[in-house]
Structure 1
Amino acid sequence: MLNRVILIGRLTKDPELRYTPAGVAVTQFTLAVDRPFTSSQSKEREADFINIVTWRQLAETCANYLRKGRLTAVEGRLQIRNYDNNEGRKVYVTEVVADNVRFLESSGSTNRESEAGTSSGNGRSSEQQDPFIDDGKPIDISDDDLPF
């Protein structure tokens, strides 16, 4: 049997981080995933809004680094659970329990500028702490440094 889901979409709002009574981190967010076709009447692309749940270290990472609008890939399993609400009605919840989340785009330049102004406890700015801040920019390497 197989239960695997792979989605790519954008967050509809910032993730919500909570902790269980046992102290386990859990984060919930919604991913807007475009459908592969457009509406025949309005010619607009439609989207599905899929609830995502992450646990433990992945939950804390998502809460710290994901923000509304960020393009994100999620891999996990589909889960359908139910509970009785206050009115005694059975409520069904369909969600993806993610075990792998990839951040597909870096934060915008406005984010980078605001992070550079903030300082952490060790006196270094956030920009200096991130070793991948210049990811995608050319690296200045001389021919003598190359092994081939």
Structure 2
Amino acid sequence: MARIALFPGSFDPFTNGHLDTVQRASRLFDRVVIAAMTNTSKRPLFSAAEKLALIEAATAALPNVQVVAQPAMLTVAYAQSIGATALIRGVRNTADYNYESGIADMNANLAPDIETVLLFGDKRYRFISSSLIKEVAAFGGDVSALVPANVDAALKAKFGSEPHA
């Protein structure tokens, strides 16, 4: 039986921290499904279709990774529908740990058959957040070392070379 993991997130944009987490998860599981979701509390920079294309290109070298747009349903329900036995979550710091532990407890209550696997972020990427990447890129800062090359190009296309307020 294949070991399937679901890595859900808004990925707006997909960063090198996300990519590192996916690469590591792809070594632990037979199949990793990245579910690009919409966070209703945030205003997205990229459309769902753009996020899917960017993540697919960034993870193309990982044959056991698939990218989908998550339907409007509970994450654990979607995980069950694809046969996933684990949810992958990246943790950068204690604030992430505290936040993720509460979600993991709720998910365990809803679906005891699904484990949450926390992968601690590589120290090179622990300070990165998608919000911070967007902020720096909007003001013309160089984020090329912090995101995959295709995402860097997409950010430049969105913001141009001039800073935006």
Answer with 1 or 2: which has the greater Rg.
1
Query: Normalised by the size of structure 2, how large is the TM-score?
Result: 0.23
Instruction: Point out the structure with the larger helix share.
Output: 2
Instruction: Compare relative contact order (CA 8 Å, sep 6+) and give the higher one, 1 or 2.
Output: 2
Query: Normalised by the size of structure 1, how large is the TM-score?
Result: 0.24
